[in-house]
A = this chain, B = another copy of it.
Amino acid sequence: MAGKLSGSLLEVAMLLFLIFLLACGCAAMTGWLFPTGEWYKGLHKPDWTPPNWVFPVAWSTLYLLIAFAGARVAAIGGPGATTALAFWALQIAANALWTPTVFGTYRLRLGLGVIVLLWIAVLGAMIAHWRVSTLAGVALLPYLGWVTLAAALNAELIRLNPNERR
């Protein structure tokens, strides 16, 4: 079954897409609950830090791709699909945790631990999705790239702001 998505599965895939998109919406809402405020503004940042407006644009695009990847793998099914979805679940939980950790409690060090876990989860998800569907795997590639950047930014914020001890 792997690798192809027949037309008859398309309706099921659409419903699955909505469920996965709702899950992404939960993670996205943490960004709205804990916006980058004065604390983040006052931090020393590396000169390659993306401007603030880039983050919601990037995440909106990524969440659509993430929901697409999950729905495609779930609709195709077959061996490996459930392992891929276990990693999908882990990445969305770690994703939803990172923003409250950093922008809700200002814990950069714990945030780095969370985003390393997220990075591992996304890598695992990408590999496992790729085995079921090349397209689903490719759809997670920008996510891995972005989380790599975000993890590097988190690490740099720790290095550049030694007085931020949490």
Query: Interface stretch among A39-47, A88-96, A156-164?
Result: A88-96
Bound-state CA distance A39–B88 (Å) is 35
Query: Interface stretch among A51-59, A74-82, A144-152?
Result: A74-82
Number of interface residues of A (CB under 8 A): 43
The 0/1 profile, CB within 8 Å of B marked 1, for residues 66-105 of chain A is 0000110111010101110111111011101100110011
Contact B33 A100 (CB under 8 A): yes
Contact A27 B82 (CB under 8 A): no
**Residues of chain A in range 14-61 having any CB-CB distance to chain B below 8 Å:** 16, 19-20, 22-24, 26-27, 29-30, 33-34
Residues of A within 8 A of B (CB): 12, 16, 19-20, 22-24, 26-27, 29-30, 33-34, 70-71, 73-75, 77, 79, 81-83, 85-90, 92-94, 96-97, 100-101, 104-105, 107, 114, 117, 121, 124
